[in-house]
Structure 1
Amino acid sequence: MSYLYLSEIKLGMTLNQVLVSPNGNMVLGQGTVMNEYLLSCLKDWNVKGVDVIEEAAAEFNLAEIERMISDILIALADNAPIETHLQSAAQVHSEIEIELKGLLNRVCWED
């Protein structure tokens, strides 16, 4: 992850933080992929910079998702307590959701 000034942010970069307005409202969520509209909003809001995921880490990686799913299936066979399975599944779900949101946003904004 890297903190970049607004002038360094490029289209397709992924936020690694939640942006909150001064009154406490969430403006942009972690995992948001930057597009022209969002960049112009950040400029209008006088945001100086944001924390982004490094480009290599933001790439959609099907092999990594398959590995995570395989790890869950192996853990399920180990007769571990259900809480362990739920925690593992929740973590993987979160990681997959971030990956898929990034992919979807890139596809939607490249057209």
Structure 2
Amino acid sequence: MVAIAEAFSWAGLLVAMAFKYGLGWPLGVTIMGSVHGALFTAYVVTTLIVFSPLRWRIWTLAFALVASVPPLATVWFERWANRRGLLTAPDSDAPTFWGQVRYVLKELN
């Protein structure tokens, strides 16, 4: 859901930029820039939160984060990940990435 919202906000920002530079109406960029910035941040934070429980490899995480840069690429990534079953939590008792980090920090303390 966040990936799709981020993509729509990207598209909205591009339209607002066309209005700003084509017609001289800068208000749209001010509004859509803020909306897109918030949704971009939400997408990145959501990606960083879900990659561990979904047990993504580091390359999948990298693809997800890189997809936040080009317009509408988050929708492409979401569909790609969904087709490969990467958006459902696997049944595993193995520790997650953040679980391993927590263990290492606890041991270092």
Shared fold (TM-score, shorter chain, > 0.5): no
Bigger helix fraction: 2
Bigger strand fraction: 1
Q: Which structure has the larger Rg?
A: 2
Q: TM-score range by the shorter chain?
A: 0.3 to 0.5
Q: Normalising by structure 2, what TM-score?
A: 0.35
